[in-house]
Amino acid sequence: MMVHGRIRRRRLMAAGAAAGALAPIGTFGQTLDWPSKPVRFVCGYAAGGLTDLFARLAAEHFTTRYGRPFIVENRTGAGSIIAGDIVAKSSPDGYTLLFTNSTAMFQNQVVFKSVPYDAARDFTPVSMLSAGKVPLCIHASVPGNNDLAALVTYARKNRTSFGTTGIGSLAHIFCMKLNDTFGIEMEPVHYRGEAPMWADLSSGVTQAACSTLQGAWAAIQAGNARPVAVPTRTRSRRLPDVGTYYEQGATHPYLLLESMVCCVAPTGTPAPVVEALSAGMVEMNAQPRMREFVDKFGLDEGAQDRASFATFIREMGPLLTQAVRELNIEPQ
């Protein structure tokens, strides 16, 4: 619980520091011979998701900012390991960066037998974007109110499938911790992406699912899904009538875990380049398209700088890794 509080406090401090981080970017851009050629943003996930859209907004912003092409290259597969391997082995010169998420940064070391890079050793943080308060939704056929009790009551009497976006994902952690908390036996069903997961929930193939608000929105609007809980202590501003896990009696610290998407550079990338990229990400928050993006996905804030990202890695990373380890997953 104290860890979560510290994260919230440092975010308030980071918000004040962000303005100061903007000042050096002009100096860096004028004195560095960077970028002098196209920059690759290697994205470990498919087009259209939160990670990809963050990368594309950043590419657009930096292309305008520097007058050089910043190009998004989607290299999907193996939980972002393929993309991570490409960037980890690339030259640390600021021309190849990775856009990925917290699963790839922390959980993959538990989920997979062999990961060809060490995230802590091979990458340096540039910027992160909180994935927001991911809603737990239930199918419209589940009786009861728009609360966690409806799912728990149903699961005690019926076979219940719980859709996740992959082994070791936050949804997987939440499913198993809810089972432990309420003495139920929901079965996690793992998908390779949000679209098929929400499609199955909408049609009633599964009874519950959890991922981004934007991914769930069509199913909610169509009346096929009902949001019943969100993680973290405060409610989602897009779903103000939906209670948190915590206020509905699910108080285990793992139900307060947060996920994020991020940009990292190969270790050894010149510090002024990393600073320029980090400050540019924060500067991007003032753009109308970025503000629209943050609102659309129900996020509480925009891109955060490298110092805030480093704090997330230090404080939240070990909890995410330990939570997956406790699932006793057989490494793939």
Rounded to a whole number of angstroms, the distance between the first and last alpha carbons of the chain is 32
Phi (first) and psi of residue 136, to 5 degrees: -90, 125
Residue 45 lies in a domain: yes
Give the model's pLDDT for residue 8. 44
- Percent of the chain at pLDDT above 90? 70
pLDDT range class, residue 31, cuts 50, 70, 90: low
Does residue 244 share a domain with residue 140? yes
pLDDT in tens, 128-158: 999 888 899 999 999 999 999 999 999 999 9
Which domain covers residue 242, as residue numbers? 136-256
Does residue 140 share a domain with residue 127? no
4-16 average pLDDT score:
41
Of 259 and 29, the structure prediction assigns the larger pLDDT to: 259
Does residue 120 share a domain with residue 193? no
Residue 181 lies in a domain: yes
The two tokens of residue 60 are: 């657009």
Angle of the 271-283 helix axis to the 24-31 helix axis, nearest 10: 130
123 has pLDDT over 90: yes
- Report which residue type is found at 244: T
pLDDT in tens, 34-84: 999 999 999 998 888 889 999 999 999 999 999 999 999 999 888 899 999
Residue 64 lies in a domain: yes
User: Which of 195, 230, 256 marks a domain boundary?
Assistant: 256
271 has pLDDT over 70: yes
pLDDT in tens, 166-219: 888 899 999 999 999 999 999 999 987 788 999 999 999 999 999 988 889 999
DSSP 118-132: -HHHHEEEEEEEE--
329 has pLDDT over 90: no
Residue 80 lies in a domain: yes
Give the model's pLDDT for residue 131. 85
The two tokens of residue 23 are: 């000042």
User: Which of 227, 256, 285 marks a domain boundary?
Assistant: 256
Does residue 175 share a domain with residue 158? yes
Q: With CA atoms as reference, report the closest residue to 276 among 48, 64, 22, 57.
A: 22
* Cβ contacts of 73-79, under 8 Å, gap ≥ 24: 73/40, 73/41, 73/42, 73/43, 74/43, 74/45, 74/46, 74/47, 75/42, 75/43, 75/44, 76/44, 76/45, 76/46, 78/112, 79/44, 79/103, 79/104, 79/108, 79/111, 79/112, 79/166
Does residue 143 share a domain with residue 98? no
Of 146 and 332, the structure prediction assigns the larger pLDDT to: 146
Assign residue 55 the CATH number of its domain.
Answer: 3.40.190.150
Phi (first) and psi of residue 164, to 5 degrees: -130, 165
Residue 65 lies in a domain: yes
Assign residue 179 the CATH number of its domain.
Answer: 3.40.190.10
Does residue 265 share a domain with residue 225? no
Residue 330 lies in a domain: no
CB 80 within 8 A of CB 91: no
Residue 332 lies in a domain: no
12 has pLDDT over 50: no
Does residue 166 share a domain with residue 18? no
Does residue 242 share a domain with residue 188? yes
Domain count across the chain: 2
Segment among 26-30, 134-138, 162-166 with least mean pLDDT: 26-30
84-110 average pLDDT score:
94
pLDDT range class, residue 265, cuts 50, 70, 90: very high
Phi (first) and psi of residue 327, to 5 degrees: -75, -10
Does residue 239 share a domain with residue 263? no
Does residue 252 share a domain with residue 103? no
Cα of 255 vs its chain's centroid, Å? 15
Give the model's pLDDT for residue 13. 39
Of 42 and 33, the structure prediction assigns the larger pLDDT to: 42
Does residue 173 share a domain with residue 107? no
pLDDT in tens, 209-240: 999 888 899 999 999 999 999 998 888 888 99
314 has pLDDT over 70: yes
What rounded mean pLDDT belongs to the chain? Answer: 88
Does residue 264 share a domain with residue 122? yes
User: Which of 239, 256, 273 marks a domain boundary?
Assistant: 256
3 has pLDDT over 50: no
Q: Is the dihedral of CA 95, 268, 168, 262 positive or negative?
A: negative
Angle of the 271-283 helix axis to the 2-22 helix axis, nearest 10: 100
Residue 9 lies in a domain: yes
Q: With CA atoms as reference, report the closest residue to 69 among 91, 41, 101, 105.
A: 41
